[in-house]
Amino acid sequence: MDSKRPSESSVETRYLLMPHQANPHGNAFGGVIMAWIDMVASMAAQRHCGREVVTLSVDSLIFKKPIYVGDHVVLKSSVNYVGNTSMEVGVKVIKEDPYSHEQIITTTSYLTFVSLDINKRPAVVIPISPETEEEKRRYKNAKLRVNIRKEILKKIE
Ligand SMILES: CC(C)(COP(=O)(O)OP(=O)(O)OC[C@H]1O[C@@H](n2cnc3c(N)ncnc32)[C@H](O)[C@@H]1OP(=O)(O)O)[C@@H](O)C(=O)NCCC(=O)NCCS
């Protein structure tokens, strides 16, 4: 296999926000959502490269809308872009009303993972082949973000 489609490694999971996962006002505790994001993103990265992965960076994390105790929390992750040994994964967090099933996007995040070989050294990752218009848009935008991050690194180091 020379490449994989994003849909071959994408992950979707769902939680119910419980009281111990909220702050004193009943909103989701950000750290809980961040842990869920890291987990669902790492699974997509693992599924893409078929190896152990580590989180290199959380490049962007935006809490756009609150999540409350009792909401269903749906997390969707997919590999947007692949470098040589790294992968950018996008995560969308959606809250769903448990009764009406109304869905609202609450959080979006981009993370970078590095694939590791058995010696824990970065390993080359199989390329990604976006197929749908949405996958192609995500790939194009992720490539732009990766290049911008490289430019910033060059300027500040
Ligand atoms: C991830 C890790 C293995 C990378 O090691 P490294 O020596 O920097 O490896 P490399 O220099 O070969 O870089 C590997 C990839 O990461 C990218 N990278 C490394 N540092 C980066 C930075 N500061 N910003 C952006 N990208 C970076 C490189 O561009 C390369 O990507 P590419 O191969 O797709 O071009 C190492 O930093 C590490 O072990 N970090 C700790 C991970 C961890 O514990 N995470 C938390 C728990 S999972």
Q: 114 alpha carbon to ligand 1 midpoint, in Å?
A: 6
Is any ligand 1 atom within 6 A of the Cβ of residue 84? yes
Phi, psi of 51 (to 5 degrees): -140, 175
pLDDT at position 157: 73
Atom number, ligand 1, closest to the C-alpha of residue 56:
1
pLDDT digit string (tens) for 109-134? 999 999 999 999 999 999 999 999 99
Q: Write down the residue that tokens 């848009």 correspond to.
A: 137
How far apart are the C-alpha atoms of 66 and 70, rounded to whole Å? 12
Instruction: Find the 85 Cα to ligand 1 centroid distance in Å.
Output: 8
What's the pTM value of the predicted model, to 2 decimals?
Answer: 0.96
Quick check: CB of 143 below 6 Å from ligand 1?
no
Q: Give nearest CA residue, ligand 1 atom 29.
A: 86
